[in-house]
Every structure is written in structure tokens, then in C-alpha cells.
Amino acid sequence: MRKFLIYSLIGLHICSLPKISMIENLNNSVITDTQTISSNLETKELNWYFQIRNDGIPPNAPKESKRFIANYDSYYLGDTSSKVIYLTFDEGYENGFTPEILDILKNNNVPAAFFVVKPYIKQNPDLIKRMVDEGHLVCNHSTTHPSMASITDKDKFNKEFSNVEEEYKNLIGEDIPKFFRPPMGKYSETSLKYTKDLGYKSIFWSFAYHDWDIKNQPEKTKAKETILKRTHNGGIILLHAVSKTNTEILDDVIKEWKSMGYEIKPLTELPDTPIFLHE
């Protein structure tokens, strides 16, 4: 029985899946019923997960996500035909490490995407301006960091986006790039459809690890080994900028990626058509 990983901002679960249709969520409850709305879109909350494969092999996605990825501009991989990766950071709050992360990115001439919530923009305007000025993408991570699958009212759903859009435009004077990371990796067919209707691509990931808990940070050598062992063509790398470990190893990791022949590209250079891998 294969092991699959579910990654989120608030927790890491390893679960064996006797049936793909039965998934343990982050609250340790089991979701088995499929609700529908009038448009016949599923509203069942799903958690993003994938099968880890080491040594440069891209991970397989869950079988049930195939049509979602194909139909709703959802990405967990980029171009798997060449040695490119896409570096992304989630910013739920500022823990004092982002300035150093930006220094490292600048010194290595590497682009990244920062997924931010509305309060982050409001509380850290200088950092947002610096991200933009130095060529990085600042992207939408919602207003209040909810499970987007839990919001079936389209007006309320859209507000989670528009509040961030307004805050960003008031600060930068431009529209926010149309990439969205679902908070906690929670989604439904409905939420992906609503996201696409707003002109966004949903950005999941093919690498993440337990880096978000500031009171339980991974050991540096082990963390670096984990990241490099699981780097693969087309990888969308999710790191949390609150992590002390990530900040301390980032320069070494970037240099190792480059020595391995990887080019780090912005999300704007993702393939036009989402890629899906499943055995």
C-alpha cells in the first residue's frame, strides 16, 4: 500500500489510502460524501497530496485530481522535460526572515513567488515593495486563510481574492499577478472553478516538508538533504518564509541546485497546459 503525503501550513499527515475516494483530512475526520451545487460541481473538500519519489523523479498526483488539473488551470508541476524548478514561499505572517531571504535571492539572481494574505501586505508594505522591485512575484493567498472549499457562496469566495487585490493595487499601483495558492492545500472542484473564473491559476506544489512550525524546526543538514533529494524537473517548490532553517540553508540549496544543472524560473514561465503524472 503506497504512502501519500498531505502538506499544509498547519500540519503534516502521512496516511495510507485504502481507497482514493476516502481521504483523512487535517482535522482527523474522514470525508466520504460528495455534495453538489446547482451547477453539478463537486463541493467535497479535498486535501492536496502526492506520492513522494526521490532521486529526481517527479511525484505522482492523486488520481481524482486529474480532471481538476486539466480543467481548471491547476498546477503542481511545471516543465518536466527540462531541468527547471519554480521557487515559491508562503507568507502567512512575518517572522523576521524575509529580508535575509530576499538578500539571498538577489545575490544568486534567482526569482521567486511569494504567496501573501491581505494582513501581510498591510503590515509589511516595505517588504512587498522590495519583492516587486527586485523582480519577484507577489501572489494571492486569500484574505483570511480559510479552506476555500468551505466557501460555496461565490460572492464570499470572490471577496477572499478581491480584498487582497485591492490592498496590493493600493500599494503597488498594479494588478496582482493571477496566481493563487489554496490555503492549507484544501480545495474542491467548485473552488478551483471559481478560482479559474477569476482569471487565476491555482498553484499547488510537488515539494514541501515540515518547515512551518517555528517551535519545531528541521535540523539544517537533514533539511538540505531532503530538499535536494526530492528536487526534480518541473518542481514547484513550497517553502515557508517563517522558517529559520530555510533561511539558513537557502543560499547553499540554491547553489547546489545550480550545480545540479537546474534553472530557477518564475511562475510566469509555467507551461500553457498543466502537467499531470499518475501511475
pLDDT tens per residue, range 251-263: 999 999 999 999 9
pLDDT at 105 (0 to 100): 99
Q: What are the structural domain ranges in the chain?
A: 3-269
Q: Respond yes or no: is residue 13 known to be catalytic.
A: no
The DSSP 8-state label assigned to residue 63 in this structure reads: G
CA angle 260, 203, 94 (to 5 degrees): 85
C-alpha cell at 108: 544568486
For 237, the enclosing helix (H) or strand (E) is: strand 235-240
C-alpha 267/C-alpha 204 separation (Å) is: 12
C-alpha 161/C-alpha 197 separation (Å) is: 12
User: With 90 as the cut, is the pLDDT of residue 157 above it?
Assistant: yes
Which residue is catalytic, options 90, 136, 211, 232?
90
pLDDT at 101 (0 to 100): 99
pLDDT at 108 (0 to 100): 99
pLDDT at 278 (0 to 100): 62
- Percent of the chain with pLDDT strictly greater than 70: 85
C-alpha 2/C-alpha 56 separation (Å) is: 19
Q: Can you name the CATH fold of 3-269?
A: TIM Barrel (3.20.20)
Q: Respond yes or no: is residue 240 known to be catalytic.
A: yes
Which residue is catalytic, options 136, 141, 232, 240?
240
Instruction: Pick 76 or 66 by higher pLDDT.
Output: 76
C-alpha 253/C-alpha 230 separation (Å) is: 12
pLDDT at 22 (0 to 100): 26
pLDDT at 2 (0 to 100): 43
C-alpha 167/C-alpha 172 separation (Å) is: 9
Reported as a single tens digit per residue, the pLDDT across 29-48 is: 333 333 444 468 899 999 99
C-alpha cell at 254: 540554491
pTM of the complete model: 0.86
Residue 47 to residues 7, 9, 43, 72, 224, Cα–Cα distance (Å): 8, 12, 13, 16, 26
C-alpha 273/C-alpha 270 separation (Å) is: 8
For residue 276, name the pLDDT band (cuts at 50, 70, 90).
Answer: confident
Per DSSP, the three-state class of 125 is helix
Reported as a single tens digit per residue, the pLDDT across 209-268 is: 999 999 999 999 999 999 999 999 999 999 999 999 999 999 999 999 999 999 999 999
